[in-house]
Structure formats: structure tokens, C-alpha cells
Amino acid sequence: MSIICGVPLLECVYCLACARWAWKRCLHTAGHDSETWGLATAEEFEPVPRLCRYILAVYEEDLRHPLFEPPGGYGINPDWLILRKTYENTQGRAPPYILYLDHDHADIVLAIRGLNLAKESDYQVLLDNKLGKKKFDGGYVHNGLLKAAGWVLEAECDILKELVEKHPNYTLTFAGHSLGSGVAAMLALVVVRHHDKLGNIDRRRIRCYAIAPARCMSLNLAVRYADVINSVVLQDDFLPRTATPLEDIFKSVFCLPCLLCMRCMRDTCIPEEKMLRDPRRLYAPGRLYHIVERKPFRLGRFPPVVRTAVPVDGRFEHIVLSCNATSDHAIIWIEREARRAMDWYRWIKAMIKKNRPVHFN
């Protein structure tokens, strides 16, 4: 009898906790995450839309006869494509990728596609992790993503070494989206740490662009490798904000109430300070770029503003309750808004050259 009487009390406590959590989330907007950050320059953000198009090109079966080109095309010369690996080639150990020799920008680019919801092997990569399972260079990383990166490096080590030595003035860029962003970030870590594998390549030649990044490394590594790794987040994107382990997210990917319930109870019962002090906690990697193109309580989209920082706290710690949380994760939208941001930069530069005033609302 006493147990039955306690059930309504537990329901009341749970409802109050959910109401408190929802109220806090509704008051939090994406702009709050980066409101104290500085503005990115056009020069440092310039590679982002181009690399987004390269990642999109991984989805094409034949780049000479593309089916899903974005406006303006992929910007890829098919004759400069070194190799293309599919799921059959990787045997599910890593997502598909391409290796492209970009002579126009003096860049060797390895671009990796994002999660394929229809491929069990992609889930296996994500599920191969537990909090604190894998140590690396004095910190913690996602075990499955590190193993996938190790497989890619082992498979392409010889060709990468040959290209790096043949083109000593070219940069080596790893780029990926979603699942691929985590693999790209791990690749950058491994190559920097074991640069002898690629002919003692200088750290300054290595770059990584993690688009819509997964939380894949501990805070000390995220800050220490900020000169190499760059993470790009569009407005309300859910994945960089989801500190819940990736394996739990995709176990409940078809049950959003389960995920929200889990986050609600954890945020209510565990103090935020305690969670942030955990050295095993994973974060979005490197320097962060936040594209903000919507404002709260205002309709429509505005010219994108790109903010950047290497924060040691406030690295997208709170999920934003937004109808755009999943659409902002799509590589197509990120490429579009990144391109709009570059157009906005060029317009401002043209106005300044003409000595015309530029007003920001």
C-alpha cells in the first residue's frame, strides 16, 4: 500500500523536474552559446564552404556525371581525384571517403561522408565506446572513431606520404561531416602525434575541418589541438550539444522522448559543475566556428554571422529546443549558410573599398 501511495509523489517530482528542464531550455537560444566570442575573418573561414562541397561529392558515384550537385557545382576537377572508397572498400570499418589533390588551393584533401542511417557498420563505429574507455596523448577520445581513423590511415598511409613529399608546399586537410567529422578529427590527432608516418610532416601543414562535429575528445585535447582542428556548427545543431554518449543517442534515435527524458533526469539530478569537471567528458574538437543566421522571436533568416573562439567552458553544453535542431545538422544547409557567410564577407569588403557605411542590425 505504501508503495502504491508513493507512485503519485514520484510522478509529481518527475513532472516538476521536466517542467524546470524545459523552462531552462526554452530560455536558452543558440546565440547565447557564442555571444561573447569574436567574429571570424573571411580568410580563416574561406575553406569551409569549399570543403563542404568536397564532402558532398563523396555521395556521388560518378563525379563526371553528378546527380546531386549544389548550386555552383562541387568545384572538383575529376582528373585530380586520387581515389574514392565506398562501404565495400572499407568493409564497414570507416565511412566512405575521397582523396583529392586540389592544385587550385595547394591542398591535399581527404573528405569523409557523414552517418548513413541505413548502414549497420556506421552504428557499430558509434557504439564502440564508453566513458573513459580510450586514452590518447594524456586525454580521452572516442574509441570507435579512433579505430576508424586508424584504419583509414593504415590503408592510405603510403599514398598520403607520397603526396606530402611530392608537394612540399601543399597543406594536408582532413574534412568530415557528422560521423565523418569525428573520424577526420581523430586522423588529425594521430597524424600530428605520429608525424613520422607521413615523412615527418610539419604540424603547420596539417588541418582538420569537422563539420557538425561529434563530441569525440576530452577538453584538454580539444584545446591543445585547436591550432590544427576547426569545428563548424550551424545555429541550433543538436549533435555538438549532445553530451549524452553517442551510443545512447543512437540507441534512442527513434524515440526522442526517451532521449529528452534521459537528459532531463541527468541535468536535474547531477550538478553541472560536477559534469564539467569530469576529465573523461568528451567535447566538440578544436577551435569552434558558430554560424548564427536566425534571431530569437524574429521570423526569417538574416545574413549569417560567424563567431569563433577556443573556449575552455561553454562549448555548446546545452541542447536548444528548436524545430531546426536536426535540419541545422544537414551538410546541405551548412554548405549553403557557409557560402552565404562568404558572400556577406565579400559584400562588406566591397562596401569598405567604396567608403560606404556598413550597418549591422
The pLDDT value given to residue 315: 79
Q: How far is Cα of residue 268 from the mean position of the Cα atoms in its chain?
A: 27
Percent of the chain with pLDDT over 70: 77
Closest by CA to 249, choosing from 264, 262, 237, 268, is: 262
The pLDDT value given to residue 219: 93
Is the pLDDT score of 284 beyond 60? yes
Task: Give whole-number Cα distances, 80 to 48, 102, 106, 219, 321, in Å.
Answer: 20, 7, 12, 37, 43
When mean pLDDT is compared over 20-34, 127-141, 295-309, 312-326, the highest value belongs to 127-141
Is the pLDDT score of 274 beyond 60? no
**360 vs 163: which has the higher pLDDT:** 163
pLDDT tens, position by position, 191-233: 999 999 999 999 999 999 999 999 999 999 999 999 999 999 9
pLDDT tens, position by position, 236-264: 898 898 865 555 555 545 555 565 565 55
Cβ pair 293, 340 in contact under 8 A:
yes
* Mean pLDDT, residues 347-353 taken together: 70
Q: Where are the domains of the chain?
A: 31-350
Is the pLDDT score of 291 beyond 90? yes
pLDDT tens, position by position, 32-86: 778 889 999 999 999 999 999 999 999 999 999 999 899 889 999 999 999 999 9
Mean pLDDT across the chain, nearest whole number? 84
pLDDT tens, position by position, 94-141: 999 999 999 999 999 999 999 998 999 998 998 889 888 899 999 999
Fold held by 31-350 = Rossmann fold (3.40.50)
* Mean pLDDT, residues 312-327 taken together: 80
Task: Find residue 177's DSSP bridge partners.
Answer: 211
Q: How far apart are CA 329 and CA 242, in angstroms?
A: 12
Q: What angle do CA 93, 98, 103 make, to 5 degrees?
A: 150
Work out whether strand 171-177 and strand 206-211 pair parallel, antiparallel, or are unpaired. parallel
* Mean pLDDT, residues 326-346 taken together: 91
